[in-house]
Amino acid sequence: MIKEYKPYLSGLIYASIFGLSFMVTKNVLNFIEPFHFLGLRFLAATILMSLLILFKVIKVDYKKKSIKPILMLSILQPVIYFTGEIYGVKNITSSQAGMMIALIPIFVTILSAIILKEYVNFRQLICIICSVLGVMLITIMQSGVNGESKLIGYFFILAAVLAGAGFSVSSRKLSVDYKPFELTYIMMIVGAVFFNILGVSQVGFKTYFLPLSNIDVLQALIYLAFLSSIIAFGLMNYTLSKIPAARAALFANLTTIISIIAGVVLRGEPFFWFHLIGGSMILFGVIGVNRFANKKTVDYFKK
């Protein structure tokens, strides 16, 4: 009985960690350039995970396994996802970014239809439209409230949403042949190489590690490198290996709720009536799409 709930407990934990990561990222971007910080984050995550593997706390085995599929997976996440997320959070509030992330389950459903040839029914279509309208309401209304949010921020977050959806479906498929931390480790290495190249191009190498002397940057790095990268991604890949991608994607709802609460309570971000209505429309649509989903989607990944 307990074993059956492990994937859901895992989902609750990683969603909670991700939910707070928007606020942590928003705070640290006052002190460091986006790609610079991502480079340091994934470098730290790679070093930490390498040590855990060296001391056999975590076990990975790539013998007789091609890492090419994981490299392709890593393009979606962390490369595209985190590029979209960090520049999205830089241009809109963390709570708004969290609302947009709630769209991931919608796109997981759409991708499942394309890849698995399982099409949405009429009720699911209505729910999808409801979520899209919720995002449009927030975007249009927010543009007239203050200058903090920029339209380009929503486009970056949308790119992150699409990448996150693609990752959910792809990780679920790869879980047949790879263990969760085998996926996570390659993802961290790819993120470290990609973002550090871009980070050095942003600020140069001479002062590259200077931000580590800033306590705010260091604390954010510890949270995002260890908890949000190694632990959360490991748990996410584990959850996706145990339950269907469309169902696992529902944990984005919890991520959204936590990010909104954290942004409003801890950062004092504004929360208007259209945030409540638009956010409710997004969550209603997400829950509805999965509530009315075709149950046969589950079997594809177990073949």
pLDDT tens, residue by residue, 74-102: 999 999 999 998 888 888 877 778 778 77
CB atoms near residue 63 (< 10 Å): 4
Whose tokens are 């009315």? That residue is: 292
Q: Which residue has the tokens 């509530």?
A: 291
Q: Given phi > 0 = left and psi -120 to 50 = alpha, else beta, which region is 133?
A: alpha
Q: 200 in helix, strand or coil?
A: helix
Query: Rounded mean pLDDT of the chain?
Result: 83
- Residue written as tokens 């939910």? 19
Tens-place pLDDT, residues 184-208:
999 999 999 999 999 999 888 888 9
d(CA 196, CA 97): 24
119 φ/ψ angles, rounded to the nearest 5 degrees: -90, 155
**Cβ distance 248 to 290 under 8 Å?**
no
Report the pLDDT averaged over residues 271-276: 83
Here the tokens at position 53 are: 């593997």
Cβ neighbours of residue 297 closer than 8 Å, sequence gap 6 or more: 112, 116, 118, 244, 246
pLDDT band at 13 (very low <50, low <70, confident <90, very high): very high
| 122 contact partners, CB below 8 Å, separation of at least 6 | none
pLDDT of residue 218: 92
Indicate the DSSP class of residue 55: T
Q: Is the pLDDT of residue 253 over 80?
A: no
pLDDT of residue 301: 39
Which of 53, 52, 21, 48 is closest to 37 using CA atoms? 21
Residues 184 and 281: their CA atoms lie apart, in Å, by 33
Question: For the segment 51-79, what is each residue's pLDDT rounded down to a tens digit?
Answer: 999 999 999 999 989 999 999 999 999 99
- Identify the pLDDT of residue 190: 97
pTM for the predicted model, two decimal places: 0.79
Looking at residues 125-146, what average pLDDT do you find?
A: 73
